Structure 1
Amino acid sequence: MKDKIKVTATELFLNLGFKSVTMDDIANEMGISKKTIYTHFNNKTALVSEVTSSLFCVISEGIDLICSIEKNSIEELYEIKRFVMEHLKNEKTSPLYQLHKYYPKIYATLKKKQFDLMQDCVMDNLKRGVHTGMYRDNINVEFVSRIYFTGVTGIKDQDFFPARMFPMDALMDQFLEYHLRGICTPKGLETLQECITTNQLT
Structure 2
Amino acid sequence: MKDKILDKSTEMFLTLGFKSVTMDDIAESLGISKKTIYQHYKTKAALVEAAVLYLFDSICNGIDFICEASENPIEELFHIKKFVSEYLKDDKSSPQFQLKKYYPKIYDRIIWKQFEVMYDSLKENLEKGIASGIYRPEIDIDFIARIYFSGMVSVKDTDLFPSSTYIPSVITEKFLEYHIRAIATENGLKILNEFINENNN
- Structure 1: gaps (5+ residues): none
Distance 2:176 2:199 in 1: 12
Displacement of 1:195: 1.8
CA RMSD of aligned residues (A): 1.0
Instruction: Give 3-state SS (helix, strand or coil) of 1:182's partner.
Output: helix
The letter of the residue matching 1:53 is L
Displacement of 1:173: 1.0
Displacement of 1:70: 5.3
The letter of the residue matching 2:109 is T
Q: How does 1:172-183 map to 2 (within 5 A)?
A: 172-183=172-183
TM-score (norm 1): 0.96
Instruction: Give 3-state SS (helix, strand or coil) of 1:39's partner.
Output: helix
- 1:185 maps to 185
Distance 2:47 2:158 in 1: 24
Query: Is the contact made by 1:78 and 1:195 (CA closer than 8 Å) also made in structure 2?
Result: no
Displacement of 1:90: 2.5
Aligned length: 201
Distance 2:120 2:140 in 1: 15
Distance 2:198 2:98 in 1: 32
Instruction: Give 3-state SS (helix, strand or coil) of 2:184's partner.
Output: coil
Query: Is the contact made by 1:133 and 1:187 (CA closer than 8 Å) also made in structure 2?
Result: yes
- After superposition, the C-alpha distances for 1:11-38 in whole angstroms (9 at most, x for unaligned) are 1100010011111111111111111111
The letter of the residue matching 1:93 is S
The letter of the residue matching 1:195 is F
The letter of the residue matching 1:81 is K
Displacement of 1:197: 1.8
Instruction: Give 3-state SS (helix, strand or coil) of 2:41's partner.
Output: coil
Distance 2:75 2:154 in 1: 22
Query: Is the contact made by 1:73 and 1:128 (CA closer than 8 Å) also made in structure 2?
Result: yes
1:67 lines up with 2:67 in the alignment: yes
Distance 1:125 1:64 in 2: 12
**What is the identity percentage for the equivalent residue pairs of Structure 1 and Structure 2?**
51
- 2:116 maps to 116
Displacement of 1:49: 0.4
Displacement of 1:71: 2.7
Q: How does 1:21-170 map to 2 (within 5 A)?
A: 21-69=21-69, 71-90=71-90, 92-170=92-170
- Structure 2: gaps (5+ residues): none
- 1:195 maps to 195
Query: Is the contact made by 1:136 and 1:184 (CA closer than 8 Å) also made in structure 2?
Result: yes
- After superposition, the C-alpha distances for 1:33-63 in whole angstroms (9 at most, x for unaligned) are 1111111100100000000001100101111
Distance 1:194 1:173 in 2: 15
Instruction: Give 3-state SS (helix, strand or coil) of 1:89's partner.
Output: coil
- After superposition, the C-alpha distances for 1:86-105 in whole angstroms (9 at most, x for unaligned) are 21113522110011111111
Query: Is the contact made by 1:119 and 1:145 (CA closer than 8 Å) also made in structure 2?
Result: yes
